[in-house]
Amino acid sequence: MNLNLKVWRQNSPEEKGQMVDYQLEGISEHMSFLEMMDVLNQKLINSGERPVAFDHDCREGICGSCSMFINGEAHGPVKGTTTCQLHMRSFKDGDTIFIEPFRANAFPVIKDLVINRSAFDRIQHSGGYISVNTSGNTQDANATPIPKENADLAMDAATCIGCGACVATCKNSSAMLFVGAKISQYALLPQGQVEAKDRAQNMVAQMDAEGFGNCTNTGACEVECPKGISLSNIARMNREFLNGSITE
């Protein structure tokens, strides 16, 4: 198939960026979206131009590196799919495709489609852990039974890949789905109870400090999340936060 691409090009955080047009011919429908980008980059390199910078690594939908805003949707048109797992069969011959970075004030562009998501790491530093040292002498793993339902819900929350699609999609650039998922994972497990109150307070405070917006219950994040993280995690985060606030 033949495609018209409109790709965001930006040389550095300081410089202004713009959409640039590229034509591609002979793209196979079996290619992944990033393989199509590889073809574009090989073409650019062979003609002496600068290739498009974009983050990608595992290319199997789990590392959370890839982060393209495609035709106005985080990770493109297919639900439950990261950019790397999107295939060209989702597009038609002659299509025009807009490709932009995930945009949010807290995710500044480094170059082209590469953004800085270190704000997510800093939120995790503020409480995304259980304080247990490595000893090999913690209690036996089966000493505390955990109801299967809670274990499964914790797993669902922990499935978050930290890609930032929720932030890019939200009109408020809210990171509450991301933060809610981590707080929920621990809130649902007995091991997470000890620090539960501080965790919710600290992580929310850091989230605010990073400049992420608030949640207005639009639910777009849940729709665009490639891992189907549920909006109920935000409700659980709010409950944990409130619980921490009133019993302080």
Partner 1 sequence: MSILDGKIPAGPISEKWINYKNKVDLVNPANKRNINVIVVGTGLAGGSAAATLAEQGYNVKAFCYQDSPRRAHSIAAQGGINAAKNYQGDGDSIYRLFYDTVKGGDYRSREANVHRLAEVSTNIIDQCVAQGVPFARDYGGLLDNRSFGGVLVSRTFYAKGQTGQQLLLGAYSAMNRQIARGKIKMYNRHEMLDVVIVDGKARGIIARNLVTGEIERHSAHAVVLGTGGYGNVFYLSTNAMGSNVTAGWKAHKRGAHFANPCYTQIHPTCIPRSGDYQSKLTLMSESLRNDGRIWVPARKEDAQAIRDSKLKPTEINEEDRDYYLERRYPAFGNLVPRDVASRAAKERCDDGHGVNATGEAVYLDFSAAIVRYGKEQATIKGEDNASESRIKDLGKAIVKAKYGNLFDMYKQIVADDPYETPMMIYPAVHYTMGGIWVDYNLMTSIPGCYAIGEANFSDHGANRLGASALMQGLADGYFVLPYTIGSFLSADIRTGEISTHTKEFDEAEKQVKERIDSLVNNKGSNSVDYYHRKLGNIMWNKCGMSRNEEGLKEAIIEIAELRKDFWKNVSVPGKANELNQELEKAGRVADFLELGELFAKDALERNESCGGHFREEYVEKSGEQKGEALRDDKNYAFVSAWEYTGVPSEAILNKEKLEFFDIELKQRSYK
Residues 194 to 213 in contact with partner 1, rule: CB under 8 A: none
What DSSP state is assigned to residue 89? G
**Residue 200: closest CA among 145, 244, 134, 151:** 244
The only residue of 19, 23, 50, 77 in contact with partner 1, by rule CB under 8 A: 50
CB 13 within 8 A of CB 109: yes
CB proximity list for 43: less than 8 A, separation 6 or greater? 24
Asked if 45 interacts with partner 1 (CB under 8 A), we say yes
Asked if 65 interacts with partner 1 (CB under 8 A), we say yes
Query: How many CA atoms lie within 13 Å of 240's alpha carbon, on the beta-carbon side?
Result: 30
Stretch of 56-64, 95-103, 214-222, 230-238 lying at the interface with partner 1 (CB under 8 A): 56-64
Stretch of 1-9, 115-123, 167-175, 214-222 lying at the interface with partner 1 (CB under 8 A): 115-123
**Residue 29: closest CA among 98, 72, 108, 91:** 91
Asked if 96 interacts with partner 1 (CB under 8 A), we say no
**How many of the other CB atoms lie within 10 Å of CB of 7?**
20
Stretch of 171-179, 189-197, 217-225, 232-240 lying at the interface with partner 1 (CB under 8 A): 189-197
Looking at the Cβ atoms of 182 and 215, the one nearer to partner 1 is 182
Residues 139 to 178 in contact with partner 1, rule: CB under 8 A: 139-142, 145-148, 151-152, 154-155, 158-159, 161-162
